[in-house]
Chain A
Amino acid sequence: MKQYGFYIDSSKCTGCKTCQLSCKDNKDLDIGVNFRRVYEYAGGDWLKEGEIYRQSVYSYYLSIACNHCDQPACTKVCPSGAMHKRDDGFVVVDEKVCIGCKYCSMACPYGAPQYNEEKGHMIKCDGCYERVAQGMQPVCVGSCPLRALEFGPIAELRDKYGTNADVAPLPSSLTTKPNIVIKQNRNARPTDDQSGHLANPKEV
C-alpha cells in the first residue's frame, strides 16, 4: 500500500500561516474552518541564578493538517464509513455519505476534522489527493515561503529526515501512527510536556 506524508520543519517555521491561507483559498473554506492549522506552543519562566534573574521564554510553531494516520482514530469511530482510508493512504471524508455526527472530530487528537455548518457534514484535509495523482504537490507545501513543508512518500521522507513525529503539543505518535516527520525547533518540548501552553487557541 502506498502512503504519503508531510515533513514539517519546526526549526524553520515562522508561524506566518501562508500554508493555512493558501489551503483556505484553494479549498474555499469559511472562517473558523482550517484544514491546516499553525499551533503556537509557548512557555517559560524567570530563573534565579545566584543574585540575578533570567528569563527562559520560548515559543515555536507547528503547522499541522491531517496526518493521514496508519491507525486513524477518526475512521475507527465513524458510524457511516464516510471517514475512510483510501488505497493511496489518504484519509478522506466521503461528503455524500457523512451524516455530520461529529464523532470523528471528537476522537481525532490532532484537531483535523473540521465541521462545516453550512453543508451539515465534516470536511478535512484530503492531502490534495487529486493534485497528487496528477504529479503535483499539495497547495500548502508549495506556498510556504520558508520551505518548511515537504510532501512525498512517507518512506522517502523518513529516509531523508528520520522518524520523529513527537513534540508538544502533539499527542504520542504511538496512538494513531501519524504519517508525518517533524524536525524539532531548538526550543522543542517533549510530547507529554506541561510547561507551555497553546498561545493562539482562537487561530486553530
Chain B
Amino acid sequence: MAWHEWPLMMFTVLAQTSVGSFLVLGGILLSGQLSLNEETRLHKAMFFLWALMGLGFMASTAHLGSPLRAVNALNQLGSSWLSNEIFFGSLFFAAGGFYWLLSILNKGSVQARKGLLAAAMLMGIVFMYAMIKVYLIDTVPTWNNMFTPLGFILTMLLSGLLFAQLLLAGAQSKLTGLYKILPIAGAAAAVISLVVTVLQMIDLSSINSAVTAASGIIDNMQQLQLIRGALMLAALALWFKPLITKNKPTTLLLVPAFVLIFVSEFIARGIFYGLHMTIGM
C-alpha cells in the first residue's frame, strides 16, 4: 500500500466521483425531466459535488513539494499529460462551477446555462481521459495496461452513480425509475470490478523487472482486496435495501453507503499507487 500517496488517492477518487456523478446529473438536467422545484433542490444539493471536487484539488496540492509554484504545472500543456490533466480539470471545475452559480442565482438564459452545462460535461470527460493518460507511462509496466483505464472508469461508475443517487435523494427527486436503474447499474459495475480485480491479480504474475516482481510488491494484497470487496458489498446492500423493502431511498441510508464505497475505492487506489514499479531499478 502507498499511504504516503494519500493526496493523489484523494484527488483521483474524488475527481472521478465528482465527474461521474456530474455526468449523470447533467444528463438528467439536460433531458428536462425534472420539475422546476426538483431542479432547484437538485442544484442546491449539487453544492456537495463541488465541495468534493474542491477538496480533491486541495488534496492534490498536498502532493506537491512546492505548492506555491503549482501554476508551473501548466507549463508543458500539450506535451505532458499531467499538465493536460490539471488544465482540463480546472476547466471542468470552472465551467461546472459557473453553471452551478448561475443556476443557484437564477441568472442567465436557460439556453446559455444548458450550453455551459454541456461544455462542463465535455470538459469532465476530457479531464478523465487525461487522468488515465497520466498513468500510462511506458516505463511503468504495472500501470501501462488496460487495468488503469478500467479501474478509473469503474470508480467513476461505482462512486459516481452512488453519489448521484445520494444527491437526487437529497433533492427529493421524483424520478422513481432512476432509483431502480442506478443501483442496478452500480451492481453491474461492482461485478465487473470484482472480475477485473481477479484478472489483474493474475496478470501481475507476468510483470517482472530484473529486481522487482509485481506480484510481490504489496505483501498484504489479499487482505486489502478482501476488505475492499467487503466494503463494496456492504455499500451495495445499503443501496439496494430501498428496492427490496419498496421504500424511497433516504439520505440516511445513502450517506453511509457512499462512505463505504468511497473507502473501498480509496483502498483500491492505494493498491494502485502501491503497485508502482519501473522496468528497471
User: Which A residues fall within an 8 A CB radius of B?
Assistant: 39, 41, 64, 73, 76-82, 97-103, 106-111, 115-117, 119-122, 168-172, 175-176, 189, 191-194, 196-198, 201, 204
Contact = CB atoms under 8 A, between A and B. Distances in A.
Contacts, number: 122
B240 to A, nearest CB: 39
B82 A103 contact: yes
A100 B137 contact: no
A121 B66 contact: yes
A31 B115 CA distance: 55
A79 B86 contact: yes
Interface in B119-177: 134, 137-140
Nearest to A62: B281
Q: Which 10 A-B pairs have the closest CB atoms?
A: A100-B65, A109-B280, A120-B65, A169-B210, A171-B280, A79-B82, A80-B72, A109-B278, A171-B279, A198-B211
B139 A197 contact: no
Contact of A80 (B73, B276, B278, B279): B73
A30 to B, nearest CB: 14
B210 A81 contact: no
Contacts of B72: 79-82, 97-99
B281 A111 contact: yes
B209 interface: yes
Interface of B: 63-67, 69-70, 72-76, 79-83, 86, 134, 137-140, 208-211, 276, 278-281
B64 A101 contact: yes
Given A77-B80, A120-B66, A99 B278 contact: no
A78 B77 CA distance: 10
Contacts of A108: 139, 278
25 contacts: A73-B139, A77-B80, A77-B82, A78-B80, A79-B75, A79-B80, A82-B72, A97-B72, A99-B67, A100-B66, A101-B63, A103-B82, A106-B137, A106-B276, A107-B137, A107-B139, A115-B65, A169-B211, A169-B281, A171-B280, A172-B279, A175-B279, A189-B210, A198-B211, A201-B211
A107 B138 CA distance: 8
A168 B210 contact: yes
A171 B281 CA distance: 8
Contact of B280 (A102, A110, A117, A201): A110
A99 B280 contact: no
Interface centre among B75, B79, B138, B280 (most CB of A within 10 A): B280
Contacts of B278: 106-109, 111, 171
Contact of A78 (B63, B70, B76): B76
Contact of A99 (B65, B138, B281): B65
A67 to B, nearest CB: 10
B75 A109 contact: no
A109 B278 CA distance: 5
Contacts of A201: 211
Contacts of B134: 103
A198 B75 CA distance: 37
Contacts of B70: 99
Contacts of A100: 64-66
A102 B65 contact: yes
A57 B86 CA distance: 50
B137 A73 contact: yes
Contacts of B138: 73, 175
A105 to B, nearest CB: 9
Interface centre among A41, A73, A111, A197 (most CB of B within 10 A): A73
Contacts of B211: 41, 169, 197-198, 201
A204 B281 CA distance: 9
B73 A169 contact: no
B208 A99 contact: no
Contacts of A121: 65-66
Interface centre among A73, A78, A79, A81 (most CB of B within 10 A): A79
B252 to A, nearest CB: 40
